[in-house]
Amino acid sequence: MLEELKYLISILIAVVLGFAIGFERKLRFKEAGIRTHTVVCVGSALIMVVSKYGFVDINEYDASRVAAQIVSGIGFLGAGIIIYRKHEIHGLTTAAGVWATSGVGMAAGAGLYIVAAGATVIIAVQCLFHLNCKLFRTKKYFQIKICFVNGGEECGKVKELFQTDRFNRLVIERKGEETLYHATLNTDEEYSSARLQEIMAENPFIKSLERCNDET
């Protein structure tokens, strides 16, 4: 009975640590919050306890066999969190957090309380990466489609206007006496519709401009 109470304490510690990680995620309005991280942490701790102590009455049992399935099981859960939408990946950090939370639960279930608590602090420190600091900021690129005539010198002018050294895609089309160039490029500078109109007004050789969705 006392042994089982000790195992229960391990699970209760997992509850606290999972709650702490989930609370940080909830503050960031992420898909997986307090309940998800707490359940993952508790479940991992429970499976670890069962794997380590549930088969002691069997000779030559492998204490790691059941616990090893936690890693693959959490992998399926993380895959369901990750979404690819509008050229952007969403939920990748949350999925990684859930995976790391399962590790915290395993450490708590194994009785490694200092390791579990230390890992929780390290995971929670990721909130610092959300500070409005240039060091932590992810660079965004904007895709722009351009149609212009003649080419040659104009190609260089377009690259200079949009601060790029190459086109991602270039299609040349003959239309009557004119040669049309359809170019696609990425730039890290965000251009407003007013700025694009100014560029067209200042450069008559540009026939059309289109800014597409953000790309990461």
Cα torsion for 42, 43, 48, 51, to the nearest 10°? 140
What are the strands, taking DSSP E only, across 50-196? 83-85, 88-90, 141-149, 169-175, 178-187
Place of tokens 């939920």: 91
Cα torsion for 79, 84, 88, 89, to the nearest 10°? 0
* pLDDT value at residue 167: 82
Structure tokens at 148: 């212009």
pLDDT digits (tens, 9 = 90+) for 68-111: 888 888 888 877 777 766 566 777 778 888 889 999 999 999 99
* pLDDT value at residue 156: 83
pLDDT digits (tens, 9 = 90+) for 174-191: 887 778 888 888 777 777
Question: Is the pLDDT confidence value at 216 over 50?
Answer: no
pLDDT digits (tens, 9 = 90+) for 29-72: 666 788 989 999 999 999 999 988 888 777 777 777 788 888 88
Q: Which domains does the chain have, with CATH numbers?
A: 2-135 (no CATH), 141-215 (3.30.70)
Residue 16: pLDDT band with limits 50, 70, 90? very high
pLDDT digits (tens, 9 = 90+) for 187-198: 777 778 888 888
2 to 6, 8, 91, 141, 215: CA distances (angstroms): 6, 10, 41, 59, 57
As a whole number of Å, the CA-based R_g of the chain is 27
203 SS3 class: coil
